Amino acid sequence: MDFFDHSSFANDVRNIIVGLLNVYFWIVFVRVAMSWFNPDPYNPIVQFLRSITDPPIEALRRILPRFLWSTGLDFTPLILILLLQVVISFLNNIRF
């Protein structure tokens, strides 16, 4: 007799991952909104937000064409937000 429900476990793991991705989405969103106000770079909150959002943004900058981030407007955070939404949508549509 099997007392472990694999589909329920998989759904719970998926829900945790989707929740973490949603939190990260909002962190990126706050970082983008904060950049419009020119925050103090020595503020610990600003440093924290940049430290957890810079690695994926820098990775996207290495992949994407230079004109998407070298002009006055940096589109890489927007692309990161769109990628996060695609992954969240994909995970939400998986059925176990």
Query: pLDDT, tens digit, for every residue of 15-63?
Result: 999 999 999 999 999 999 998 888 999 999 999 999 999 999 999 989 9
> Could you tell me which of 31, 35, 26 has the C-alpha nearest to residue 48?
31
With bands split at pLDDT 50, 70 and 90, how would you rate the model's confidence at 2?
Answer: low
- Give yes or no for a contact between 88 and 22, defined as CB atoms under 8 angstroms apart: yes
Task: Write down the pTM of the prediction.
Answer: 0.85
What pLDDT sits at residue 51?
96
Q: CA 58 to CA 50: how far, in whole Å? A: 11
Composition of the chain by helix, strand, coil, percent to 5 = 75, 0, 25
Q: Is the pLDDT of residue 75 over 60?
A: yes
Q: CA 44 to CA 38: how far, in whole Å? A: 14
Q: Which two tokens stand for residue 52?
A: 């957890």
- Residue 18 CB neighbours (<10 A): 17
Q: How many CA atoms lie within 13 A of 56 on its CB side?
A: 17
